[in-house]
Amino acid sequence: MKRWLLWVPLIVFAGLVAVAGSRLIAPPDTVVKSALIGKPLPDFALAPLLPAKPGLDRGDLATGKPRLLNVFASWCVPCIAEAPQLMKLKAAGVQIDAIAIRDTPQAVAAFLARHGDPYARIGSDPQSQVQISIGSSGVPETFVIDGQGRIAAQHIGDIREEDVPKLLKALEDAR
């Protein structure tokens, strides 16, 4: 047997230690990035839910100006928790459109009356079909859509206080 072969286990192990060490030093990466980021939104057209608010289709999200697309439902408790943050974003001049999941006009009207109405448009998605096609698996979720109707970022779960600047920055970056 060649002598140098005896050192192969040590070299392999050293490589392993190097990789493991670099992973320990690297900041913990706890977010699984959505595969749809950077991709254009699929084609969809959702009927309005409330008489006073227009519905939502793909064209509404490609007007040249970045905006937020909020996936919510009146029956969802974390959606109540994120309502103040959405109002804050609206006050900062952000345009927010919404998809209401498996909801009724009465319930949504009551929800908006109680927790504030940050939305420019609300499309009704009674079967979650559009929700699934845009890669959202629950409520609430918030997408940053760039001016061309592409998904620039996806925020899963309710928007906390500390997420507001992150979303504003993501909107800025999508410009």
Any contact of residue 22 with other proteins (CB under 8 A)?
A: yes
Cα angle vertex 135, ends 129, 138, to 5°? 75
Residue number with CB closer to other proteins (7 or 45): 7
Instruction: Select from 32, 52, 91, 113 the one that contacts other proteins (CB under 8 A).
Output: 32
Encode 115-153 in three state secondary structure: HCCCEEEEEEECCCHHHHHCCCCCCCEEEEECCCCEEEE
Tokens linked to 123: 């499309």
The site map against other proteins for 139-168 (x = CB under 8 A) is ------------------------------
Instruction: Give dist(CA 92, CA 1) in Å, integer.
Output: 72
Choice between 2 and 91, CB closer to other proteins:
2
Stretch that binds other proteins, among 12-20, 97-105, 120-128, 159-167 (CB under 8 A): 12-20
Residue closer to other proteins by CB (options 147, 157) is: 157
Is 13 one of the binding residues for other proteins (CB under 8 A)? Answer: yes
For position 6 contacting other proteins by CB under 8 A, the verdict is yes
**Closest alpha carbon to 143 in 87, 105, 91, 94:** 94
3-class secondary-structure state, position 69: strand
Tell me the chain's radius of gyration from C-alpha atoms: 22
**Least distance from C-beta 131 to other proteins, angstroms?**
21
Contact residues for other proteins (CB under 8 A)? 1, 3, 6-7, 9-10, 13-14, 16-17, 19-26, 28-30, 32-33
